[in-house]
Amino acid sequence: MKLSGGVEWAVHCCVALTGVTEPVPAATLARLNDVSMTYLAKQMQSLARAGLVHSVQGKAGGYVLARPADSISVLDIVLAIEGTEPQFTCTEVRQRGPLAASPEQCLQACAVHRAMLAAEQAWRASLRGVSVADLVATVDRDSGPDVLSRVRGWLASPTP
Amino acid sequence: MKLSGGVEWAVHCCVALTGVTEPVPAATLARLNDVSMTYLAKQMQSLARAGLVHSVQGKAGGYVLARPADSISVLDIVLAIEGTEPQFTCTEVRQRGPLAASPEQCLQACAVHRAMLAAEQAWRASLRGVSVADLVATVDRDSGPDVLSRVRGWLASPTP
DNA sequence: GTTCGGATACTCGGATAGCACTTGTCCGAGTGGGGGTGG
DNA sequence: CCACCCCCACTCGGACAAGTGCTATCCGAGTATCCGAAC
């Protein structure tokens, strides 16, 4: 029940990518956050595979957000990195053992399964309600708009 | 982001333990659910360590619920098995890299951290709102009260 | 001066090792019960 | 017949391996750019 560490990096990168028009290479994003270049590249690949960012190859290549920031939710990023399979897998304990229930008695999910499913739905709904644009607005409100503008400027011409 | 498989077993065992007065050994619970005896014993140990079930040693020993079923939430069981540490660990990316923020600018949690925290709180709240007694009531309503009564009878005198 | 071509350097992408955690298992410590023995 | 004591079988508890997925890394495929040469 632990989130992959790459999720944090991916979300931060999506926030940093807002407002930039030219592609940003993974190496630049890695230097910005001071993290492993190759590993962050892997996370960006996952984002590209999920269609959240658009990757352009070549000399001036890199990553750009594929959609407006207000249409990319944090849930999209988490699912892109972690995978879309649910966190709880019901093994149908009911149908095992000496008091096994018949399959026609198990047409609907068991009570335990439903409780877990409801909790995961709540979790997903909370993450779905926060978009990358919301995060940008929050950062601007908390720390001032110059923080993210400085990030965008650095991404445009990074220091080697 | 995957729950431990033992969580399912632990919840089912807690449901099965409702209404029984004499201690039930881990081996009996394992046979009821047709799962690995030794591994389920490990999960029951975690429940005992968390104070959810009371363990009695000796010849007629086993496990009993330590509290009324309506005061044991599914969240309690999940936390007992998975551990209480939060699923998301913020590595303070803000304070790293060439544009690192100063520590006094990071007095409150960053926007990403707060979004993840809110989602986890929603998840926990959903699980906290479901007690073992609620699960029992749900099973009784769905499949009839005889299902759980048969389970209790089998736990009292199990077939070897 | 303009245009075409190729070499180049830089990018992403998937395939590849290392490590931590979950899964699964085992044996020892402790305890209540049952049977034997003595009164 | 009853009470006491010892042995035992049964239980939990923590310590010990194996498998699986996350972490981290590398090298190859692909492409826009830049430079040079030809027209």
Separation in Å: D4 C1' and A112 CA: 51
Closest by Cβ to B122, choosing from A31, A101, A126: A126
Tens digit of each residue's pLDDT (9 = 90 or more) over A100-153:
999 988 999 999 999 999 999 999 999 999 999 999 999 999 999 999 999 999
Non-local (6+) Cβ contacts of A66 within 8 A are A51, A52, A53, A54
pLDDT value of position A1: 84
Residue B128 CA: distances (Å) to CA of A70, A119, A125, B10, B70: 32, 9, 17, 16, 11
For residue B79, is it left (φ>0), alpha (ψ between -120 and 50) or beta? alpha
Spell out the residues 6+ positions from residue A87 whose beta carbon is closer than 8 angstroms to its own.
A1, A116, A120, B1, B2, B3
Question: Does A66 contact strand C, using a CB cutoff of 7 Å?
Answer: no
**B27 contact A CB<8A:** no
Judged by C1' against the alpha carbon of A9, the nearest nucleotide is D23
Question: What's the CA A131/C1' D28 distance, rounded, in angstroms?
Answer: 36
What mean pLDDT value characterizes chain B? 95
Answering whether pTM is above 0.85, one says yes
Report whether pLDDT(A89) > 90. Answer: yes
User: In this structure, what token pair is assigned to residue B138?
Assistant: 């749900």
**Where exactly are the structural domains of chain A?**
5-84+131-156
Give the long-range contacts of residues A34-42, CB within 8 A, separation 24 or more.
A34/B93, A34/B96, A34/B97, A34/B100, A35/A9, A35/B93, A35/B96, A39/A6, A40/A6, A40/A9, A40/A13, A42/A6
Q: Per this entry, what is the length of chain B?
A: 160
Report residue A43's pLDDT band, with 50, 70 and 90 as the boundaries.
very high
| Contact between the CB of B55 and strand C at under 7 Å | no
Which two structure tokens, joined as six digits, stand for A63?
A: 């990553």
Distances (CA, A) of B24 to A18, A57, B43, B78, B111: 58, 63, 14, 21, 48
Q: How far is residue B43 from each of residues A70, B25, B90, measured CA to CA in Å?
A: 43, 13, 29
From CA A39, how far away is CA A49, in angstroms rounded?
A: 16
Q: What is the pLDDT of residue B26?
A: 96
Contact A10, A42 (CB under 8 A): no
**How far is B88 from B69, CA to CA, in rounded Å?**
30
Average pLDDT value for residue range A84-94: 94
Mean pLDDT confidence for A21-25: 94
User: Closest approach of chain B CAs to the CA of A73, in angstroms?
Assistant: 11
Q: Which amino acid is at A81?
A: I
Task: Give the residue from A72, A61, A66 showing the smallest Cα distance to A51.
Answer: A66
Q: How confident is the model at residue B159 (pLDDT cuts 50, 70, 90)?
A: confident
What was the pLDDT predicted at A54?
Answer: 96
What does the pLDDT look like over B46-64, one tens digit per residue?
999 999 999 999 888 999 9
Mean pLDDT of B75-103: 94
Quote the minimal CA–CA distance from B98 to chain A in Å: 6
CA trace torsion B71, B74, B76, B78 (10° rounding): 170
**Using CB atoms within 10 A of its CB, is residue A129 exposed (0-12), middle (13-18) or buried (19+)?**
middle
- pLDDT tens digits for range B100-117: 999 988 999 999 999 999
**Average pLDDT in the B34-46 region?**
96
pLDDT tens profile A27-37: 999 999 999 99
What is the pLDDT, as a whole number, of residue A18? Answer: 95
For residue B89, name the pLDDT band (cuts at 50, 70, 90): very high
- Whether CB of B154 is under 7 Å from strand C: the answer is no
Say if residue B1's pLDDT is above 90.
Answer: no
CATH code of domain B5-84+131-156:
1.10.10.10
Residues 6+ apart with CB under 8 A from B160: none
Q: What is the average pLDDT across B14-36?
A: 95
Residues with Cβ within 8 Å of residue B124, at least 6 apart in sequence: A119, B75
User: What are B118-155's pLDDT values in tens digits?
Assistant: 999 999 999 999 999 999 999 999 999 999 999 999 99
- Per CB-CB distance under 8 Å, the chain A contacts of B115 are 74, 126-127, 130, 134-135
Distance from CA of B34 to the nearest CA of A (A): 5
Q: Which of residues 84-143 of B touch A (CB under 8 A)?
A: 85, 87-91, 93, 96-101, 105, 108, 110-112, 114-116, 118-127, 130, 135, 138-139, 142-143
pLDDT tier, B158 (very low <50, low <70, confident <90, very high otherwise) = confident
With residue A102 as reference, give the H or E element that holds it: none
Q: Which among B12, B118, B121 is the nearest to A93, CB-wise? A: B12
Checking if the pLDDT of B23 tops 80, the result is yes
Map tokens 């007690």 to a residue.
Answer: B131
